[in-house]
Structure 1
Amino acid sequence: MPDLLTSGHVVDVALLIVAAEAGLLVLWRRRRRPGPGALLVNLASGACLMLALRAALAGAPGSWLAAALAGAGAAHVADLWLRLRTAAR
Protein backbone atom coordinates (compact mmCIF):
# COMPACT_ATOMS: atom_id res chain seq x y z
CA MET A 1 0.00 0.00 0.00
CA PRO A 2 2.75 2.54 0.74
CA ASP A 3 4.18 1.89 -2.75
CA LEU A 4 0.82 2.86 -4.25
CA LEU A 5 1.03 6.24 -2.53
CA THR A 6 4.69 7.04 -3.12
CA SER A 7 4.81 5.86 -6.73
CA GLY A 8 2.02 8.17 -7.81
CA HIS A 9 -0.25 5.38 -9.05
CA VAL A 10 -2.94 6.53 -6.62
CA VAL A 11 -3.07 9.74 -8.66
CA ASP A 12 -3.57 7.67 -11.83
CA VAL A 13 -6.61 6.05 -10.22
CA ALA A 14 -7.97 9.46 -9.18
CA LEU A 15 -7.46 10.80 -12.72
CA LEU A 16 -9.39 7.86 -14.16
CA ILE A 17 -12.24 8.62 -11.77
CA VAL A 18 -12.21 12.30 -12.81
CA ALA A 19 -12.25 11.30 -16.50
CA ALA A 20 -15.23 9.01 -15.89
CA GLU A 21 -16.98 11.76 -13.96
CA ALA A 22 -16.41 14.22 -16.81
CA GLY A 23 -17.84 11.76 -19.32
CA LEU A 24 -20.90 11.13 -17.20
CA LEU A 25 -21.44 14.86 -16.66
CA VAL A 26 -21.27 15.54 -20.38
CA LEU A 27 -23.84 12.82 -21.07
CA TRP A 28 -26.11 13.97 -18.25
CA ARG A 29 -25.90 17.67 -19.08
CA ARG A 30 -26.67 17.00 -22.75
CA ARG A 31 -30.08 15.77 -21.73
CA ARG A 32 -30.73 18.51 -19.18
CA ARG A 33 -29.18 21.81 -20.22
CA PRO A 34 -26.90 23.16 -22.89
CA GLY A 35 -23.19 23.06 -22.25
CA PRO A 36 -21.30 21.54 -19.31
CA GLY A 37 -18.52 24.13 -19.71
CA ALA A 38 -18.21 25.36 -16.13
CA LEU A 39 -18.18 21.84 -14.73
CA LEU A 40 -15.58 20.63 -17.20
CA VAL A 41 -13.13 23.49 -16.61
CA ASN A 42 -13.51 22.93 -12.88
CA LEU A 43 -12.67 19.24 -13.37
CA ALA A 44 -9.78 20.19 -15.66
CA SER A 45 -8.31 22.41 -12.98
CA GLY A 46 -8.41 19.59 -10.43
CA ALA A 47 -7.04 17.09 -12.95
CA CYS A 48 -4.11 19.38 -13.73
CA LEU A 49 -3.35 19.70 -10.02
CA MET A 50 -3.38 15.90 -9.75
CA LEU A 51 -1.02 15.71 -12.74
CA ALA A 52 1.31 18.14 -10.96
CA LEU A 53 1.23 15.91 -7.88
CA ARG A 54 1.89 12.86 -10.07
CA ALA A 55 4.85 14.61 -11.70
CA ALA A 56 6.30 15.54 -8.31
CA LEU A 57 5.88 12.02 -6.90
CA ALA A 58 7.37 10.41 -10.00
CA GLY A 59 10.38 12.72 -10.05
CA ALA A 60 9.49 14.14 -13.47
CA PRO A 61 11.39 17.13 -14.83
CA GLY A 62 10.36 20.51 -13.48
CA SER A 63 8.96 21.51 -16.86
CA TRP A 64 6.22 18.85 -16.53
CA LEU A 65 5.33 20.15 -13.09
CA ALA A 66 5.27 23.74 -14.35
CA ALA A 67 3.11 22.79 -17.35
CA ALA A 68 0.60 20.98 -15.12
CA LEU A 69 0.42 23.94 -12.74
CA ALA A 70 0.03 26.36 -15.65
CA GLY A 71 -2.83 24.22 -16.97
CA ALA A 72 -4.47 24.28 -13.54
CA GLY A 73 -4.14 28.06 -13.41
CA ALA A 74 -5.56 28.52 -16.90
CA ALA A 75 -8.52 26.23 -16.14
CA HIS A 76 -9.12 28.10 -12.89
CA VAL A 77 -9.19 31.44 -14.71
CA ALA A 78 -11.59 29.98 -17.28
CA ASP A 79 -13.80 28.67 -14.48
CA LEU A 80 -13.90 32.08 -12.80
CA TRP A 81 -14.64 33.81 -16.09
CA LEU A 82 -17.56 31.46 -16.82
CA ARG A 83 -18.95 31.88 -13.30
CA LEU A 84 -18.68 35.68 -13.36
CA ARG A 85 -20.21 35.85 -16.82
CA THR A 86 -23.15 33.72 -15.66
CA ALA A 87 -23.58 35.78 -12.49
CA ALA A 88 -23.68 39.01 -14.52
CA ARG A 89 -26.75 37.84 -16.46
Structure 2
Amino acid sequence: MVELFDTGRIIDAILLLMVLEGALLYLVYRRSGWGLAPGTLVTTLAAGGFLLLALRAALTDAAWYWVSAWLLAGLAAHLADLWQRLRPQ
Protein backbone atom coordinates (compact mmCIF):
# COMPACT_ATOMS: atom_id res chain seq x y z
CA MET A 1 0.00 0.00 0.00
CA VAL A 2 2.88 2.37 0.73
CA GLU A 3 4.11 2.10 -2.85
CA LEU A 4 0.75 3.46 -4.09
CA PHE A 5 1.55 6.71 -2.33
CA ASP A 6 5.29 6.72 -3.03
CA THR A 7 4.74 6.35 -6.78
CA GLY A 8 1.67 8.59 -6.92
CA ARG A 9 -0.44 5.75 -8.34
CA ILE A 10 -3.12 6.42 -5.75
CA ILE A 11 -3.61 9.84 -7.32
CA ASP A 12 -3.81 8.25 -10.78
CA ALA A 13 -6.62 6.01 -9.51
CA ILE A 14 -8.48 8.96 -8.00
CA LEU A 15 -8.12 10.94 -11.24
CA LEU A 16 -9.52 8.00 -13.19
CA LEU A 17 -12.50 7.89 -10.85
CA MET A 18 -13.00 11.63 -11.37
CA VAL A 19 -13.06 11.15 -15.15
CA LEU A 20 -15.65 8.40 -14.75
CA GLU A 21 -17.67 10.62 -12.41
CA GLY A 22 -17.56 13.45 -14.94
CA ALA A 23 -18.72 11.14 -17.74
CA LEU A 24 -21.59 9.84 -15.63
CA LEU A 25 -22.68 13.33 -14.57
CA TYR A 26 -22.51 14.49 -18.19
CA LEU A 27 -24.72 11.59 -19.30
CA VAL A 28 -27.24 12.35 -16.56
CA TYR A 29 -27.32 16.00 -17.65
CA ARG A 30 -27.75 15.08 -21.33
CA ARG A 31 -30.60 12.66 -20.62
CA SER A 32 -32.52 14.57 -17.97
CA GLY A 33 -31.26 18.16 -17.94
CA TRP A 34 -30.62 17.71 -14.22
CA GLY A 35 -27.26 18.61 -12.72
CA LEU A 36 -24.38 20.83 -13.75
CA ALA A 37 -24.05 22.17 -17.27
CA PRO A 38 -21.04 20.69 -19.08
CA GLY A 39 -18.96 23.89 -18.85
CA THR A 40 -19.46 24.15 -15.10
CA LEU A 41 -18.80 20.45 -14.69
CA VAL A 42 -15.49 20.71 -16.53
CA THR A 43 -14.21 23.67 -14.51
CA THR A 44 -15.30 22.09 -11.22
CA LEU A 45 -13.56 18.79 -11.96
CA ALA A 46 -10.52 20.53 -13.45
CA ALA A 47 -9.96 22.54 -10.26
CA GLY A 48 -9.95 19.38 -8.17
CA GLY A 49 -7.93 17.46 -10.74
CA PHE A 50 -5.19 20.10 -10.81
CA LEU A 51 -4.96 20.02 -7.01
CA LEU A 52 -4.59 16.24 -7.19
CA LEU A 53 -1.82 16.62 -9.76
CA ALA A 54 -0.05 19.05 -7.41
CA LEU A 55 -0.33 16.45 -4.66
CA ARG A 56 1.01 13.77 -7.00
CA ALA A 57 3.97 15.97 -7.89
CA ALA A 58 4.70 16.56 -4.20
CA LEU A 59 4.38 12.85 -3.34
CA THR A 60 6.81 11.87 -6.08
CA ASP A 61 9.35 14.56 -5.18
CA ALA A 62 8.91 16.47 -8.41
CA ALA A 63 10.63 19.82 -8.75
CA TRP A 64 9.00 22.67 -6.85
CA TYR A 65 7.98 24.41 -10.06
CA TRP A 66 5.76 21.47 -11.07
CA VAL A 67 3.91 21.62 -7.77
CA SER A 68 3.57 25.38 -8.22
CA ALA A 69 2.40 25.05 -11.81
CA TRP A 70 -0.33 22.56 -10.89
CA LEU A 71 -1.44 24.77 -8.00
CA LEU A 72 -1.59 27.77 -10.31
CA ALA A 73 -3.63 25.78 -12.82
CA GLY A 74 -5.96 24.77 -9.98
CA LEU A 75 -6.40 28.41 -9.02
CA ALA A 76 -7.20 29.36 -12.62
CA ALA A 77 -9.78 26.57 -12.92
CA HIS A 78 -11.28 27.53 -9.56
CA LEU A 79 -11.59 31.18 -10.60
CA ALA A 80 -13.17 30.13 -13.91
CA ASP A 81 -15.63 27.96 -11.99
CA LEU A 82 -16.54 30.83 -9.66
CA TRP A 83 -16.92 33.21 -12.60
CA GLN A 84 -19.32 30.79 -14.32
CA ARG A 85 -21.41 30.29 -11.19
CA LEU A 86 -21.52 33.89 -9.96
CA ARG A 87 -21.90 35.91 -13.16
CA PRO A 88 -25.28 37.57 -13.63
CA GLN A 89 -27.64 35.62 -15.84
The total of aligned residue pairs comes to 87
Work out whether 1:49 is the aligned partner of 2:40.
Answer: no
After superposition, what is the alpha-carbon deviation per residue over 1:45-82, rounded to whole angstroms, capped at 9, x for unaligned? Answer: 00000000000111112222122111100110011001
Matching residue of 2:67? 65
Partner of 1:2: 2
Q: TM-score, normalised by structure 1?
A: 0.85
Match of 1:40 in 2: 42
Alignment of 1:17-28 (within 5 A): 17-28=17-28
Relative to its length, the structure with more helix (as a share) is: 1
4+ runs of 1 displaced by more than 3 Å? none
Structure 2 SS opposite 1:51: helix
Alpha-carbon distance between aligned partners in 1 of 2:76 and 2:4, rounded to the nearest angstrom: 29
- Show CA shifts across 1:19-47 (max 9, x none): 11111222221223393221221111000
Question: For the residues of structure 1 that align with 2:4 and 2:78, how far apart are their CA atoms?
Answer: 28
RMSD: 1.6
Paired with 1:26 and 1:47, the residues of 2 have a C-alpha distance of 17
Task: Report what 1:75 is aligned to.
Answer: 77
Q: Secondary structure at the match of 2:79?
A: helix
| Identity percentage of aligned residues | 46
Q: TM-score with structure 2 length normalisation?
A: 0.85
Letter paired with 1:44? A
